[in-house]
Amino acid sequence: MARTLAQPATLAAAQERPRRRDWHGFTAHVILIASVALLAFPLYYAFVISTQTLSQVTTTPPKPWPSTALLANYAEAWHRAQMGRMLVNSAIVALGVAIGKIVISLLSAFAIVYFDFRGKNVVFWMIFVTLMLPVPVRIVSTYQVVSVLGWVNTYWGLTVPLMASATGGASTIMATAIATFHSGSCEVRGTSVSIPITAVRISGVLVIIRGHR
């Protein structure tokens, strides 16, 4: 159906199309570059402020270009906030959680897609339900659980509970991804869902895993 109607109705229209596409491409570039710049501006501004002294920050008009106090400010921030220690902690937690989540989700997704076992639906829904209660809402109780386990002030206490959140999301995404790769569509508990797999989706998956704290 599409093929025949795609024939240009007039020669003029055919000749017009390439020119329109060039102009269209140009505006696309302009818009995308503008978006990138606008998106980057606040971070750039924050960087500029990080290079200014306190009096420079608090005087108007604001100066939009970097100043001289870069090393002094960063050194003081590093020292005062003990950033070295914090960066180490963050790295350990982030790495631990990311790796833990991927490994666990992969295992469960594999099981759900390739096996038929009793309680499969229960497991699937149990995992899915974890998407429903994000961390800030259950943080008090989570702390109590962690302290009962004796994991207060340890890396275990910081990483393992976070593996529980959104692992559900990662699992389901992984499960559907695996199933789709395999068969082009997938039956997930009776719901027919086709998700075209593109590079964007996969990167989105990875970003979700990273983004869900």
Partner 1 sequence: MKRSVFPNRWLPYLLVGPQVIITLVFFFWPAFESLRLSLYRASPFGDRFIYVGLTNFERLFRDDAYLRSVITSFVFSFVVTFAGLALALLLASMANARIRGLAVYRSLLLWPYGIAPAIAGIIWLFVFHPSYGILPWLLSFVTAYQFNWFLKGWVAMALIIVAAIWKQFGYNLAFYLAGLQAIESSVLEAASVDGAGPIRRFFAITFPLLSPVTFFLFTLNMTFSFFDTFGLVHAVTQGGPGDATSILVYRAWRDGFEGLQLGYSAAQSVVLMALVIMLTAFQFRFAEKKVTY
Partner 2 sequence: MKALLARTVALVAVAVLVSPSAALARTDIQWWHAMTAVLGERINEIAAKFNASQNDYEVKAVYKGSYPDTLNAAIAAYRAKQPPHIVQVYEVGTQTMLSSGAVYPVFQLVKDHGVTIDWNDVIPPVKSYYASGGNLSSMAFNSSTPVLFYNKDLFKKAGLPDRAPTTWDEVEAAARKLVASGARCGFSAAWPSWTLMENMHALHDQPFADHANGFDGLATTLKINGPFGVKMMELLQRGAKEGWFTYNGRLNKAEANMGNGECGVFLSSSAYIGNLTRASEGKFTWATGPLPRMGGFPQGSSIIGGATLWVLKGAKPEEYRGVAQFFRYLASTENQAWWAGVTGYLPISNSAVKAMEASGHFQKNPQQRTAITQMQLGKVTPNSQGIRLGNFPSVRDAIEEQMENIFSGKKTAKQGLDDAVAKSTDILKEFAALYK
Applying the rule CB under 8 A, the residues between 94 and 153 that interact with partner 1 are 104-105, 107-108, 110-117, 120, 123, 126-127, 129-134, 136-142, 144-145
Q: Say what the alpha-carbon torsion angle 21, 22, 25, 27 is, to the nearest 10 degrees.
A: -110
Given the rule CB under 8 A, which residues bind partner 2?
54-55, 58, 88, 92, 95, 99, 143-144, 147, 152
State how far the Cα of 141 lies from the Cα of 152, in Å rounded to an integer.
13
State how far the Cα of 51 lies from the Cα of 43, in Å rounded to an integer.
13
Task: Please compute Rg for the chain using Cα positions.
Answer: 26
Nearest distance from residue 129's CB to partner 2, in Å? 27
What residues numbered 4-33 form the site for partner 1, per CB under 8 A? 5-6, 9, 21, 24-25, 27-29, 31-32
Of partner 2, partner 1, none, which one does residue 29 interact with (CB within 5 to 8 Å by kind)?
Answer: partner 1
Contact 119, 188 (CB under 8 A): no
Q: Which residues pair with 191 in a beta bridge?
A: 188
Nearest distance from residue 184's CB to partner 2, in Å? 34
Residues, the chain: 213
- In this structure, the number of other CB atoms found within 10 A of the CB of residue 56 comes to 15
Nearest distance from residue 5's CB to partner 1, in Å? 4
Nearest distance from residue 137's CB to partner 2, in Å? 17
155 interacts with partner 1 by CB under 8 A: no
